[in-house]
């Protein structure tokens, strides 16, 4: 978390020190149909200072940049032109992305936010009694999967090798092999799965 924040601030500092921030201020101000006086009133930064910034004659401090961002209704990262990332995302239970196989009853619940290019997925899978996930194809080399059994007994078949996990057991494997998960006990079986594809190649 701290590293991400440091990166965001670094982007702002770079933009400020290079004099590029003035162009962003001018662009965003005009997009919003604001005059120099209007932005000065909203940000608490003087009209003269904003004018000098936009002409590249002066570099603001981070405090001034933050005030301008507030006045423009954007984050510091956006003001600097950096891509904004949310630090906290709540996924309510009722809004989970749920996929259910009508034939087997296997259910996949996505617990993590569906960010493009995120590289990590956090999933809860539910296998009915006597059911199976079906065989998943091999992932690209470098993809890793981590499993923790929440309830029941789980059979894992990884590239032809079979493993049996009980409640509370954990499993890690390189997912570049075909893999399947079966409920091998009585009652419903559920397990948590983390898929890490950040190192895929």
Count how many domains the chain has: 2
Residue 144 is part of a domain; what is its CATH number? 2.60.120.10
Residues 98 and 169 in one domain: yes
Please list, in sequence order, all residues whose beta carbon lies within 8 angstroms of the beta carbon of residue 186, skipping any fewer than 6 positions away. 129, 152
Asked whether residue 49 is assigned to any structural domain, the reply reads yes
Strands 132-136 and 161-165: unpaired
Domain's final residue, options 80, 110, 134: 80
Domain's final residue, options 36, 53, 80: 80
Report which secondary-structure segment, H or E, holds 201.
Answer: none
Which residue, among 88, 70, 87, has the nearest Cα to 79 in the 3D structure?
70
Residues 45 and 109 in one domain: no
User: What domain range is 117 assigned to?
Assistant: 93-196
Domain's final residue, options 46, 80, 114: 80
pLDDT one digit per residue (tens) for the chain, 201 residues: 444 433 334 444 444 554 678 888 999 999 999 999 999 999 889 999 999 999 988 877 655 776 787 788 776 556 766 544 577 888 888 887 777 777 788 888 888 876 645 678 898 999 999 999 888 878 778 989 999 999 999 999 999 999 999 999 999 999 999 899 999 999 999 999 998 988 777
Residue 27 is part of a domain; what is its CATH number? 1.10.260.40
Report which secondary-structure segment, H or E, holds 176.
Answer: none
In the three-class reduction of DSSP (H, G, I as helix; E, B as strand; rest coil), residue 46 is classed as coil
Token pair 């009585």 is found at 186
Is residue 170 packed enough to be buried (19+ CB in 10 Å), middle (13-18) or exposed (0-12)? Answer: exposed
């Amino acid at each position: 978390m701290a590293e991400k924040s440091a990166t965001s601030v670094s982007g702002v500092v770079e933009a400020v020190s290079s004099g590029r921030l003035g162009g962003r201020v001018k662009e965003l101000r005009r997009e919003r149909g604001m005059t120099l006086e209007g932005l000065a009133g909203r940000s608490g930064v003087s009209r003269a200072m904003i004018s000098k910034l936009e002409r590249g004659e002066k570099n603001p401090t981070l405090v001034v940049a933050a005030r301008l961002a507030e006045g423009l209704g954007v984050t510091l990262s956006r003001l600097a032109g950096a891509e904004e990332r949310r630090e906290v995302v709540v996924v309510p239970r009722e809004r989970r992305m749920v996929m259910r196989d009508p034939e087997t009853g296997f259910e996949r619940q996505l617990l993590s936010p569906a960010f493009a290019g995120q590289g990590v997925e956090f999933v809860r899978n539910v296998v009915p009694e006597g059911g199976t996930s079906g065989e998943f194809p091999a992932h690209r080399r470098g993809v890793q999967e981590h499993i923790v059994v929440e309830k029941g007994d789980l059979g894992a078949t990884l590239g032809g090798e079979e493993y049996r996990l009980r409640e509370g057991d954990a499993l890690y494997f390189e997912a570049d092999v075909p893999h399947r998960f079966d409920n091998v006990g009585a009652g419903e079986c559920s397990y948590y799965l983390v898929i890490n594809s950040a190192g895929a190649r």
